[in-house]
Amino acid sequence: MKTAPARPEAAPAPAPPVRRARARRLLMCRPTTFEVSYAINPWMDPAVPVDAALATAQWERLYRLYLALGHQVELIEALPGLPDMVYAANGATVVDGKVLGARFRNAERAAEGAAYLDWFRAHGFTEIHDPLHINEGEGDLLTCDSFILAGWGFRTAPEAHREVEAVFGRPVIPLELVDPRFYHLDTALAVLDGDEIMYHPEAFEPRSRALLRRLFPDALLADRADAEAFGLNAMSDGLNVVLPRAAEGLARQLAERGFNPIGVDLSELLKGGGNVKCCTLELRAPALGQ
C-alpha cells in the first residue's frame, strides 16, 4: 500500500523587525487660547461647544506621555486671538537644524507664521527661512529618510515644493490630496521609521496613489474608519506610535509590525481638525558631520 507523500509544512510567518525608539526634540503649544470660532476645514463647526478644560487636560496627557517616553518637549506660548496655535505642526518645518517658516492660506491663521518664527529666533536657531509661497509646515511636509513628502491640493501651494527642496537640499515628492476631510498630508499619511510609512489611499489623487505604491510598496494601509478617526495623525519615534485611541484597526496593524501603539484621546482638539501629530512639531537636529 502506497502512502501519500507528506505535505510540506507551511513556512512560519516572518518575525516583525526589532524596533528601536529614538528620543526626539519636540515643540508644543498649550491650548490656552483654543476655541472653534470659525470654520476653515470640514471638522470645524463653531456651533458645537468646546470644553476648554477638557481640551487642556487631554493635551496635558499627551505632553506628559512624550516626556515619559524620553522625548524633550519645548513650549511656545499661545497668543490671544490665535486659537489654532495649539496645532504646532503647522508652525514650521525643521530638517537638519534648518527652519522653513509657515505661510498660511487662511487669513485666520496668518499671524501664526510670524509667532513661530519669533520663537525659533529666540531659541538659538540660526538658519531660518521666511517662506515665499504658501506652506503649512509639517501639516503638509513630512520627512522620511529619502524624501520630503509634500502634500498639496487644499492648503500648501505646489510652488512651495521647489522652495522646500532648495532650503533643505532633499528631494521633494508632491502628493495631491483630493478629499477635503484630509486637507493636510499629516491627516492622510504618517512616517513611522526611516522610509516606512502608513497612509489612506483614498485620500490621494490616483497618480499620487500610484506613486506611493511604487515608492513604498510595503506601506501600512489605513482603511476609511481609521483614517476618519484621524489615526494617521500620529507621532512615531521608531518604536512607539502615539495615535488616536479610536483607530483600533490601525493599532492592531502597527502591533503586528513590531511597533508599540499608544492610544490617546484628543477628542476636543479634533473639533478644530487636529490630533496627535497636529499638536507636535519635530525639531530635527543637524545630521552628524554637518
Rounded to the nearest 10°, the torsion over CA 50, 250, 237, 151 is: -70
What would the grid cell of residue 89 be?
A: 505642526
What would the grid cell of residue 186 be?
A: 499629516
Whether 278 is catalytic: yes
Phi, psi of 101, deg, nearest 5: -70, 170
Whether 123 is catalytic: no
Taking the C-alpha atoms of residue 235 and residue 232, their distance in angstroms, rounded to an integer, is 9
Taking the C-alpha atoms of residue 56 and residue 45, their distance in angstroms, rounded to an integer, is 19
Give the active site residue among 71, 161, 184, 200.
184
Give the active site residue among 29, 144, 278, 279.
278
Helix-strand-coil percent breakdown of the chain, rounded to 5?
A: 30, 20, 45
Phi, psi of 74, deg, nearest 5: -105, 160
What would the grid cell of residue 78 be?
A: 499661545
Catalytic residue list: 184, 278
